[in-house]
Amino acid sequence: MAFMKRVIGNWKMHKTVPETKKFLEEVLQTLPPKEVYLAVPFTAIAAAASFGIHVGSQNIAAAAEGPFTGEIAARMVKDVGAAFSLIGHSERRHVFGEKEGDVRCKILQAIEQTLTPVLCVGEKLGEDFKEVLKRQLSSALENIEVGKLSALMIAYEPVWAIGTGKSASPDDAAKAHAFCREILTDLFDSNFAAHVPLLYGGSVSVDNLPSLLACSQVNGVLVGGASLVPATFVKLAQIARAVVS
């Protein structure tokens, strides 16, 4: 299975609307909009979408609508131009206490609104990655009709690698991704498993990206810190453009 290797930026809680516009004006001098994937704060989605790039939210609510003060529904982010959403990012799970049941509801909401779900999974330091990946993937996806998951992407992000400067080695990332495909095969079938793009995330940089993307198991990356600086983001996208496997 050949994948276009994607670089998805995750801005976390960074950048206002003017800062978003400034970033994109700079980046789009070099990159075509269709090569730019960014998960931006809710407030910057509409501005980012007006540039014709792939825009995502970093979270969505577990319900369609209702008395949930401070929450933002899938339909709302879709309405202002989001095409995808991160779901179950480690900061949502471990800083904000998001439960596996919530993650599953959010996947279902994304499907309902035809918003591409980017399901984030990964173990904490000292945890058995296989045990965690099996639990997180199964609880989020099992018994969902396979036809409804055709847009699904999965980001393997070991918690210990996020924002620490300590990326997983390409070998370890490849092993974790191969294991994700095994779980997807068990939950669905091998054809589906082969078609789900698997991204690696956790301290991706211009220096380690070439060796990570050289692994056929790594179909792209989810990048936090290094996606915030226009020149760095451009370099990451250019590195990815050169690789197809």
Burial class (CB in 10 A: 0-12, 13-18, 19+), 244: exposed
Residue 220 CB, shortest distance to ligand PGA, in Å, is: 12
Binding of residue 58 to ligand PGA (CB under 6 A): no
Interface with ligand PGA by CB under 6 A: which range of 44-52, 70-78, 128-136, 199-207?
Answer: 199-207
Shortest-Cβ-distance residue relative to ligand PGA: 224
Among residue numbers 162 through 191, which ones bind ligand PGA (CB under 6 A)?
162-163
Closest by CA to 20, choosing from 58, 71, 70, 55, is 55
Where are any strands of DSSP class E within the chain? 6-10, 37-39, 54-57, 84-87, 116-121, 153-156, 198-201, 220-223
Print burial letters for 73-85: b (CB count within 10 Å at least 16), e (below 16).
bbebbbebbbbbb
> Residues 225, 230, 234, 240: which binds ligand PGA (CB under 6 A)?
225
Match 């793009």 to its residue by tokens.
197
Instruction: Spell out the residues 6+ positions from residue 19 whose beta carbon is closer than 8 angstroms to its own.
Output: none
Binding of residue 9 to ligand PGA (CB under 6 A): no
Binding of residue 199 to ligand PGA (CB under 6 A): no
The answer to whether 88 touches 136, Cβ cutoff 8 Å, is: yes
Q: Which is nearer to ligand PGA, 111 or 236 (CB)?
A: 236
Binding of residue 41 to ligand PGA (CB under 6 A): no
Q: Which is nearer to ligand PGA, 58 or 217 (CB)?
A: 58
> Residues 223, 234, 240, 243: which binds ligand PGA (CB under 6 A)?
223
Q: Where are the alpha helices (DSSP H) in 95-229?
A: 100-112, 129-141, 170-187, 190-195, 209-213
Q: Which is nearer to ligand PGA, 208 or 217 (CB)?
A: 208
| Catalytic status, residue 54 | no
Binding of residue 208 to ligand PGA (CB under 6 A): no
| Catalytic status, residue 19 | no
Residue ranges that bind ligand PGA, judged by CB under 6 A: 10, 157, 162-163, 201-204, 222-226
